[in-house]
């Protein structure tokens, strides 16, 4: 058997950090290469793969999660390995990985939450949607969180799909929730929820909302909630009216759906989702926890570059609430030893090649894909194209002979890692998966998630 680098006897060794969509798409693309032959070690800080498909996608959207079947096929490809419970930056350093592999590709997502920068943001009861979502989806780092759902009104800030997800989760009935894979602790808390009104605040207008059509339309199907839109909020300023004429189909259909909601007479359901526009949070008030949010009214102005911005009119109002959920976007976190772009809050990169910040030239053998490469936007499928751009560069750099020669081996590194932490493998995940599905089956649920690391480890280690 040939031992030339890139042959079956001596494959190119690539470490992919992160087992979300970007990591799995990148792994599949690299493993599909015939020349060179590539072996891929996927690392994740968790024992469970799929990233935000498991911990982001809403529990009542099971069809979306079926993308994991594609990832399961990747895990069966020749040359694939999964190493769970290994956090890069804590259990293993970037330098150690770079010394052991020909290339290291970061696909770690953007797990932080964007801040509003307003007074009262840190009061108890002002929470990030990032945490709320991770909590109801059973992410082990958030299993002990608690949310106070005892007030009659919750306010969600933001006009993206995450804002709609969290608003919907607060509006769903227990009957709707208990057939999903939502964490058991979340069902218990939501069962006792006193929330009757969920106000969703957009700082700009309906034509600038980042919702997608199915997500906006499905609010109409909620068993317990009416959707309320004030027709006055849908009167467009001249710039937005102009933009709507040439806007893409998503925006046109969103505006149609919103007009439909505004024209409806509420059915008198026990809960209400109120969609409000041109409304920015100015301050969150309360003595030791949230009691109200002050909201400023905006008008929209077209800027020279054609974007439409919100400008405060000076009018404010106070909305009483005990829970504020900030759904204004995610941000990346720097990893020790990996150049970070502070402005974009991503890994510093060009098309997926990580750049040396001083020379602004690619660092040989270092790459990024997914949200940590391009920022926190786009659906699951967007990461396929994004990963392809990066993996094409890995293979081009191999062909050009610019990948560094490792001074260590993955096997030696993994042996050291096993002395530091309990590394789990793909069969460990399969054991967790089978157990969760078996727990869910008698209750007509896709799975009951194990939300504690020790429970997961016990299952994974039994293999
Ligand atoms: C709340 C929410 C709901 C969504 N719903 C949908 C939807 O319904 N449909 C849709 O198409 N898209 C949806 N998306 C978008 C979709 O989830 C993202 O496009 C996609 O998950 C991004 O993939 P990624 O691989 O870049 O990051 P992620 O999915 O975040 O994966 C990153 C992985 O890296 C791991 N990791 C992080 N740091 C380290 C470290 N230091 N060491 C080792 N491992 C690490 C994490 O554990 C994780 O497994 C949603 C997003 C959110 C936030
Ligand atoms: N079902 C699905 O397919 C699904 C579900 C969830 C998420 N996703 C995807 O995941 C990605 C991330 O979603 P996301 O909702 O986190 O992000 P997003 O789509 O970027 O939306 C963020 C929202 O926050 C607003 N915002 C930002 N800063 C603000 C501030 N200081 N004050 C008030 N509002 C502020 C933005 O308004 P401006 O526009 O004015 O900046 C925008 O409306 C998106 O691509 C989304 O489509 C998809």
- pLDDT of 36-75, one tens digit each? 999 999 999 999 999 999 999 999 999 999 999 999 999 9
- Whole-number pLDDT of residue 280: 98
Pseudo-torsion of CA 426, 428, 434, 437, nearest 10°?
Answer: -90
Average pLDDT over residues 141-157: 97
> Ligand 2 mean position to 162 CA, how many Å?
6
**CB-CB contact of 195 with 149 (8 Å):** yes
Which mutation among 156, 240, 329, 346 tests ligand 2's pocket best, with the greatest number of atoms within 8 A of CB? Answer: 329
463 has a pLDDT exceeding 70: no
- Whole-number pLDDT of residue 461: 83
- Checking 398-407 for CB contacts under 8 A at 24+ apart, the result is 398/6, 398/12, 398/36, 398/102, 398/103, 402/364, 403/12, 403/102, 403/103, 403/364, 403/365, 404/98, 404/102, 404/364, 404/365, 405/102, 406/13, 406/99, 406/100, 406/101, 406/102, 407/99
Q: C-alpha angle 455/457/462, rounded to 5°? A: 105
Nearest CA to ligand 2 atom 43: 159
Point out the ligand nearest to the CA of residue 371: 1
Which mutation among 22, 54, 56, 132 tests ligand 1's pocket best, with the greatest number of atoms within 8 A of CB? Answer: 56
- Whole-number pLDDT of residue 2: 80
- Whole-number pLDDT of residue 306: 82
Angle, helices 249-263 vs 238-246, to 10°: value is 120
| Nearest one of 112, 132, 139, 131 to 55, comparing CA atoms | 139
pLDDT mean across residues, the chain: 97
Angle, helices 68-75 vs 21-31, to 10°: value is 40
Q: Which residue is it, tokens 């008698």?
A: 442
Number of helices (H), then strands (E), belonging to the chain: the values are 17, 20
1 has a pLDDT exceeding 70: no
- pLDDT of 290-317, one tens digit each? 999 999 999 999 898 889 999 999 999 9
Average pLDDT over residues 230-235: 94
Quick check: CB of 108 below 6 Å from ligand 1?
yes
- Whole-number pLDDT of residue 21: 98
Beta carbons within 8 Å of 3's beta carbon, 6+ residues apart: 9, 10
Average pLDDT over residues 152-177: 98
Q: Is the pTM of this model over 0.95?
A: yes
91 has a pLDDT exceeding 80: yes
Half-sphere exposure of 252 (CA within 13 A, CB side): 6
- Whole-number pLDDT of residue 329: 97
Q: How far apart, in whole angstroms, are the C-alpha atoms of residue 366 and residue 16? A: 10
> Ligand 2 mean position to 378 CA, how many Å?
10
349 has a pLDDT exceeding 80: yes
Atom of ligand 1 minimally distant from the CA of 22? 25
**How does 451-463 read in b/e, with b if 16+ C-beta sit within 10 Å?**
beeeebbebbeee
214 has a pLDDT exceeding 80: yes
Point out the ligand nearest to the CA of residue 63: 1
> Ligand 1 mean position to 108 CA, how many Å?
8
- pLDDT of 384-438, one tens digit each? 999 999 999 999 999 999 999 999 999 999 999 999 999 999 999 999 999 999 9
Per-residue DSSP letter, 462: T
- Whole-number pLDDT of residue 62: 96
Q: What percent of the chain has pLDDT over 90?
A: 95
Q: What percent of the chain has pLDDT over 70?
A: 99
User: DSSP for 17-42?
Assistant: E--SHHHHHHHHHHHT-TTTTEEEEE
Name the burial class of residue 207, with classes exposed (0-12), middle (13-18) and buried (19+) by CB atoms within 10 angstroms of its CB. Answer: buried
pLDDT bracket for residue 235 (50, 70, 90): very high
Element of type H or E holding 229: strand 225-229
- Whole-number pLDDT of residue 239: 87
Q: How far apart, in whole angstroms, are the C-alpha atoms of residue 133 and residue 58? A: 8
> Ligand 2 mean position to 388 CA, how many Å?
25
Average pLDDT over residues 346-351: 98
Domains of the chain: 12-111+332-423 (3.40.50.720), 114-329 (3.50.50.60)
């Amino acid at each position: 058997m040939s031992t030339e680098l890139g042959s079956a006897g001596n494959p190119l060794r690539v470490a992919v950090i992160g087992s979300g969509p970007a990591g799995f798409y990148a792994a599949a693309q690299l493993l599909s290469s015939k020349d060179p032959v590539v072996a891929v070690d996927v690392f994740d800080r968790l024992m469970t793969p799929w990233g935000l498909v498991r911990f982001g996608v809403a529990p009542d959207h099971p069809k979306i999660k079926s993308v994991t079947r594609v990832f399961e096929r990747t895990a069966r490809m020749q040359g694939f390995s999964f190493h769970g419970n290994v956090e890069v930056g804590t259990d293993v350093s970037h330098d150690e990985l770079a010394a052991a592999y020909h290339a290291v590709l970061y696909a770690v997502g953007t797990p932080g939450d964007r801040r509003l920068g307003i007074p009262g943001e840190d009061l108890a009861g002002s929470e990030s949607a990032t945490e709320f979502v991770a909590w109801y989806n059973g992410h082990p780092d958030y299993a002990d969180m608690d949310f106070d759902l005892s007030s009659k009104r919750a306010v969600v800030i933001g006009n993206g799909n995450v804002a709609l997800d969290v608003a919907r989760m607060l509006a769903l009935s227990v009957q709707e929730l208990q057939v999903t894979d939502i964490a058991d602790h979340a069902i218990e808390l939501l069962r006792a929820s006193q929330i009757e009104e969920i106000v969703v605040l957009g700082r700009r207008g309906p034509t600038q909302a980042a919702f997608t059509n199915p997500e906006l339309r499905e609010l109409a199907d909620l068993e317990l909630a009416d959707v309320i839109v004030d027709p006055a909020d849908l009167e467009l300023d001249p710039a937005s009216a102009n933009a709507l004429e040439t806007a893409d189909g998503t925006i046109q259909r969103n505006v149609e759906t919103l007009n439909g909601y505004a024209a409806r007479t509420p059915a008198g359901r026990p809960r209400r989702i109120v969609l409000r526009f041109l409304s920015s949070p100015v301050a969150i008030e309360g003595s030791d926890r949230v009691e109200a949010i002050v909201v400023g009214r905006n008008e929209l102005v077209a800027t020279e570059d054609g974007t439409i911005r919100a400008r405060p009119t000076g009018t404010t109002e106070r909305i009483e609430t005990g829970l504020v959920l900030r759904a204004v976007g995610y941000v990346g976190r720097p990893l020790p030893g990996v150049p970070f772009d502070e402005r974009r809050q991503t890994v510093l990169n060009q098309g997926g090649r990580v750049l040396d910040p001083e020379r602004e030239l690619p660092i040989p053998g270092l790459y990024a894909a997914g949200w940590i490469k391009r920022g926190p936007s786009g659906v699951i499928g967007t990461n396929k194209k994004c990963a392809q751009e990066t993996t094409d560069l890995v293979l081009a750099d191999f062909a050009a002979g610019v990948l560094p020669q490792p001074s260590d081996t993955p096997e030696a590194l993994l042996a050291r890692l096993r002395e530091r932490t309990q590394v789990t493998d793909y069969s460990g995940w399969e054991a967790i998966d089978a157990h969760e599905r078996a727990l869910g089956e008698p209750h007509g649920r896709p799975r009951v998630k194990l939300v504690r690391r020790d429970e997961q480890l016990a299952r994974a280690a039994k293999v």
